[in-house]
């Protein structure tokens, strides 16, 4: 821990520390660490040329740089109700110019500072402080007489708490002219530092370790914390400070202090405060209670030997020399790079350093080590490891209670292991009979279950029947007698759907054809006829056929057909559906007979005789201006009556009538007729 002999409680009174020489190296380190504080020290002042701070009713003023030769500083103040600044300095602040002034101003601090700065004379110290801006600012903060020596420090008591004041510093030349002026507002209110964070204590082999956290320097917030004070309270209720030098603030580093004087068996509560450059203290934080005890482990046992015997591995070692050792632990490694496992359920007595490992199995290279345990529970490091290789020639027994079940489409095997102590693992095999099998798994470990879902190339076949065997393997990879079990997989998978389906008209029936399903277990097909919203299953005489004739269709309607495949387990595939098919024939109906046309007041009335046909849809009327000209149809939809009135007809028009069926087949027409006048 970096410590320093500065004590703010003595810096004003001039008290000296006799250990200053011992602290000079740590002081140089502290100066380097304190650079973060200097960089933000102006946070308590509005001016960049000086800073102010308040303790009780006193204002402390630090000028950041030593005035150059021929320049002095005056301090002025304007308080509440003052209209103008009032000069506070009867004599100006000016740096010393001789070694005699150095000794006189520093007094008892001289020897301490001389040791820390490693100077040999007052004149050398003055030069160092005057021209080393960085060092002089630090020492002005730590030792206020140094600030006085350099013309950079001023303090003024007697302020009214809570009031606001304005301080002004004037830099003046030899002619009394002001060459620079800076102001800063000061409220008379103490700003104690924040307390340390997360104070914690723990035991180490060298004593009690105290650790804490503290925020990093906070520019612009008046953060002047520079040190910490650590105390502890005994079980008798007495608080005592446990360090004689400052615990410095070190921005960016971990805070740690070792208390080597804590007495074993005593219970302590530790407390800490943060202290700033003016000696203001934070609130106290506490940690504990902590009872100091022995945490130093004993030495590792020596003389470990091992020998393989009928009952296991026999281990013997020497007793430890420590008087507080009460037991031993035995550890085993199953490989030089594996983790160790403690194999003694109960501690081995210190009086009888002997142990038999009954769990060792043959064919495995083992390593053993022993540790010692004292009354406080401290455990030593392990002894040097020794190697043992036990062997036997007996294969393992047969796995017991082998069973096979199904879970999420997988075959799950479970079994109980044989009683052998040298088990290494298990071998699982599968086949279609008991004689021909191939290995699925051969793994180390005593896991007594296995899940088989097949592979991408050889998946388990739904409905298939398989035979599984499990063999136990010892550490020499010898296989024992197999245990076997049969299992039949249920078929819950639908077959693949049939290939493309085609529906076409053949005479007065529809022929439906499709490609068979590629699934090997497809046993038949189901065909559905769709007529609008009506679906009807068609009867299949031969389940395996891929052609079907539908003779129950009606002309003039649109049909669709879908077909699905069914396997031997009754699973049905997704359907394939044909394109829509409009049912029609190609035979036209008979032509109408006795067509005639008469002029009427409404137009030309055309009429004809009934045509007899089972799928007659009606009649279409055609018109032309010549008997042998081009006739155009004047009816939009088939006429179901036996007459039609052409409202735009004239005596110059000729007419023909054709019968039309539901397949839109039209009959031939008779000779064209012309409208004549006469009775209707």
pLDDT tens digits, one per residue of 496-518: 999 889 999 887 889 999 999 98
Domain 596-674, CATH homologous superfamily name and number: Immunoglobulins (2.60.40.10)
User: Is the pLDDT at 41 greater than 50, yes or no?
Assistant: no
Using CA atoms, how far apart are residues 279 and 415, in angstroms rounded to an integer?
77
The DSSP secondary-structure symbol of 41 reads G
pLDDT, one tens digit per residue, over 604-656 is 999 999 999 888 889 999 999 998 889 999 999 999 999 999 999 998 999 99
How do residues 155-214 score in pLDDT, each as one tens digit? Answer: 999 999 999 999 999 999 999 999 999 999 999 999 899 999 999 999 888 889 999 999
How many angstroms separate the CA atoms of 384 and 177, rounded?
A: 84
Conformational region of residue 357, where left means phi above 0, alpha means psi within -120 to 50, and beta covers everything else: beta
Which has the higher per-residue pLDDT, 268 or 489?
268
* CATH number among 1.10.3470.10, 2.60.40.10, 3.40.50.300, 3.90.245.10, domain 400-488: 2.60.40.10
Percent of the chain with pLDDT strictly greater than 90: 51
CA distance 319 to 352: 8
Query: Which superfamily is assigned to 3-187 in CATH?
Result: Immunoglobulins (2.60.40.10)
CATH class (in words) of the domain with range 501-582:
mainly beta
| Cβ atoms < 10 Å from Cβ of 122 | 20
Determine the pLDDT at residue 6: 34
What pLDDT was estimated at residue 64? 86
Q: Phi-psi bin for 226: left (phi > 0), alpha (psi -120 to 50), beta?
A: alpha
DSSP of 376-398, one letter per residue? T--BPPPPPPEEE-----PPP--
Options 1.10.580.10, 2.60.40.10, 2.40.50.200, 3.40.140.80; CATH for 197-291 is 2.60.40.10
What percentage of the chain carries pLDDT values higher than 70? 91
Using alpha carbons, list the distances in angstroms from residue 179 to 72, 157, 170, 176.
10, 27, 8, 9
Above 90 in pLDDT, residue 316?
Answer: yes
User: Is the domain covering 305-388 a CATH 2.60.40.10 domain?
Assistant: yes
Q: Is residue 16 over pLDDT 50?
A: no
Please provide the DSSP assignment of 98-134 as one string.
SHHHHHHHHTTHHHHHHHHHT-SSHHHHHHHHHH-HH
Q: For the range 42-49, what are the long-range contacts, defined as Cβ-Cβ under 8 Å and sequence gap of 24 or more?
A: 43/218, 43/219, 43/220, 43/221, 43/222, 43/223, 44/191, 44/222, 44/224, 45/184, 46/183, 46/184, 46/185, 47/169, 47/182, 47/183, 47/184, 48/182, 49/169, 49/180, 49/182
Instruction: For CATH 2.60.40.10, list the domain ranges present in the chain.
Output: 3-187, 197-291, 305-388, 400-488, 501-582, 596-674
pLDDT at position 290 over 70: yes
Q: For residue 422, how many C-alpha atoms fall within 13 Å in the half-sphere facing its CB?
A: 22
Strand order in the sheet with 178-187: 86-87, 72-78, 164-172, 178-187
Query: Residue 412, Cβ neighbours under 10 Å: how many?
Result: 16
pLDDT band (50, 70, 90) for residue 344: very high
Structure tokens at 315: 């281990």
Strand partners, 639: 619
Query: What residues contact 36, with CB distance under 8 A and at least 6 apart?
Result: 216, 217, 251, 252
């Amino acid at each position: 821990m970096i410590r320093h002999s500065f004590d703010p409680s003595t810096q004003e009174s001039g008290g000296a520390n006799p250990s200053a020489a011992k602290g000079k190296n740590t002081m140089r380190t502290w100066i380097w660490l304190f650079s973060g504080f200097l960089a933000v020290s102006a946070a308590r002042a509005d001016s960049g040329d000086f800073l102010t701070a308040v303790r009780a009713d006193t204002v402390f003023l630090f000028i950041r740089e030593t005035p150059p030769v021929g320049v002095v500083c005056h301090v002025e103040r304007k308080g509440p109700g003052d209209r103008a600044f009032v000069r506070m300095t009867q004599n100006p602040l000016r740096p010393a110019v001789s070694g005699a002034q150095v000794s006189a101003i520093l007094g008892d601090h001289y020897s301490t500072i001389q040791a820390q700065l490693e100077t040999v004379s007052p004149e050398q110290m003055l030069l160092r402080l005057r021209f080393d801006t960085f060092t002089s600012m630090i020492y002005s903060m730590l030792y206020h007489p140094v600030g006085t020596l350099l013309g950079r420090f001023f303090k003024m008591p007697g302020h009214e708490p809570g009031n606001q004041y304005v301080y002004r510093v004037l830099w003046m030349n030899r002619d009394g002219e002001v060459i620079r002026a800076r102001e800063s507002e000061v409220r008379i209110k103490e700003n104690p530092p924040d307390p340390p964070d997360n104070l914690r204590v723990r035991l180490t082999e060298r004593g009690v370790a105290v650790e804490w956290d503290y925020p990093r320097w906070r520019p612009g917030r008046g953060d002047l914390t520079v040190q910490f004070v650590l105390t502890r309270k005994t079980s008798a209720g007495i608080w005592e400070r446990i360090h004689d030098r400052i615990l410095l603030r070190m921005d960016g580093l971990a805070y740690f202090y070792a208390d080597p004087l804590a007495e074993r068996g005593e219970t302590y509560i530790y407390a800490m405060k943060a202290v700033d450059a003016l000696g203001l203290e934070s609130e106290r934080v506490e940690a504990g209670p902590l009872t100091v005890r022995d945490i130093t482990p004993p030495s590792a046992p020596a003389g470990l030997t091992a020998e393989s015997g009928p009952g296991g591995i026999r281990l013997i070692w020497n007793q430890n020399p420590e008087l507080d050792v009460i037991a031993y632990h035995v550890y085993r490694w199953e490989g030089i790079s594996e983790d160790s496992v403690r194999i003694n359920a109960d501690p081995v007595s210190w009086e009888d350093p002997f142990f038999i490992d009954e769990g060792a199995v043959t064919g495995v290279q083992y390593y053993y080590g022993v540790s010692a345990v004292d009354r406080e529970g401290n455990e030593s490091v392990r002894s040097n490891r020794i190697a043992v290789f036990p062997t036997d020639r007996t294969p393992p027994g047969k796995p017991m209670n082998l069973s096979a079940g199904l879970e999420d489409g997988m075959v799950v095997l479970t079994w109980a292991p044989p009683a052998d102590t040298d088990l290494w693992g298990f071998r699982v095999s599968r086949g279609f009979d008991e004689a021909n099998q191939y290995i699925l798994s051969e793994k180390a470990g005593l896991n007594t279950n296995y899940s088989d879902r097949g592979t991408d190339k050889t998946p388990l076949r739904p409905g298939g029947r398989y035979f599984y065997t499990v063999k136990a393997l010892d550490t020499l990879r010898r296989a024992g007698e197999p245990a076997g079990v049969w299992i039949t997989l249920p078929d819950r998978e639908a077959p693949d759907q049939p290939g493309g389906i085609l529906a076409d008209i053949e005479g007065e029936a529809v022929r439906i054809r499709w490609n068979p399903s590629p699934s090997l277990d497809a046993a038949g097909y189901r065909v559905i006829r769709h007529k609008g919203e009506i679906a009807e299953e068609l009867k299949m005489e031969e389940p395996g056929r891929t052609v079907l004739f539908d003779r129950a269709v009606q002309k003039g309607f649109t049909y669709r057909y879908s077909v699905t495949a069914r396997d031997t387990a009754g699973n049905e595939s997704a359907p394939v559906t044909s394109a829509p098919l409009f049912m029609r024939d190609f035979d036209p109906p008979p032509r109408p007979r006795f067509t005639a046309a008469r002029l009427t007041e409404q137009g030309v009335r055309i009429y004809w005789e009934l045509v007899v046909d089972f799928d007659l849809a009606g009649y279409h009327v055609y018109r032309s201006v010549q008997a042998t000209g081009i006739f155009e149809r004047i009816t939009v939809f088939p006429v179901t009556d036996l007459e039609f009135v052409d409202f735009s007809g004239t005596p110059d028009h000729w007419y023909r009538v054709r019968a039309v069926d539901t397949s839109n087949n039209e009959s031939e027409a008779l000779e064209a007729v012309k409208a004549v006048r006469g009775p209707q």
